[in-house]
Chain A
């Protein structure tokens, strides 16, 4: 089945630094990747949608300059949290959708727990 690898699973960084999270589709080409943020005991909030080779589309209220998304290839998307602050601490999850789209569902990565100190 489709597998999405997300790395790192856990990261702690200092305030003001930047952190990069990678999301890779291992056995399929992901034309579209999605980045979610999940607060404790809450649902997933879609942050942005990225299509390979084009700029990401951000949801309302998400700062594009703070959460940089790059989808340079059909198997890799990255989320960079720039100038991180403690309020950016959260669980970030990526998901990928193959070209054949919705009938095969979305495949999710295992998530990244970001802690900013």
Chain B
């Protein structure tokens, strides 16, 4: 079975501050991992993905994530938050065994002045 846990349903940061959104996964086989962003009343946009190549993955909008097998983590970071980063962020895991994406419960990022 595969699962994803996102710690913190709501994260608030000041504009210009570091963004850190946490994601831990559980999988009995090597996983593929994804981060998606969702703006209100819209679908999901892929930020970045880990597919067993480089463990440090760079995505769009200045986001990056590091796959750490020893910690079963795939945390999302951005050095400097922007107001436009305010959205819902979902971590997801995929394995060939399950052949489907399993999403975490999401983290709402709030960016304040």
Whether A113 contacts B41 in the complex (CB less than 8 A), given A34-B100, A106-B101, comes out as yes
Q: What is the minimal beta-carbon distance from A70 to any residue of chain B, in angstroms?
A: 19
Whether A108 contacts B100 in the complex (CB less than 8 A), given A42-B105, A43-B105, comes out as no
Choice from B36, B43, B49 contacting A6 with Cβ under 8 Å: B43
Q: SS class of chain B's interface: helix, strand, loop or mixed?
A: strand
> Do the beta carbons of A93 and B44 come within 8 Å of each other?
yes
B45 located at the interface, meaning its Cβ lies under 8 Å from any Cβ of chain A in the complex: yes
Q: Interface digits, A1-22 against B, CB 8 Å rule (1 contact, 0 not)? A: 0001010010000000000000
Q: Which residue of chain B lies nearest to A103 when distances are taken between CB atoms in the complex?
A: B51
> With the chains together, A49 CA to B100 CA distance in Å?
9
Whether A46 contacts B101 in the complex (CB less than 8 A), given A93-B44, A108-B43, A111-B41, comes out as yes
> With the chains together, A113 CA to B41 CA distance in Å?
8
Q: Interface digits, A25-50 against B, CB 8 Å rule (1 contact, 0 not)? A: 00000000010000001111010010
Most chain A beta-carbon neighbours within 10 Å: one of B44, B51, B105, B106: B44
Q: Which 9 pairs, one residue from A and one from B, show the smallest C-beta to C-beta distance? A: A108-B43, A108-B44, A110-B43, A111-B43, A43-B103, A43-B105, A44-B103, A109-B43, A105-B46
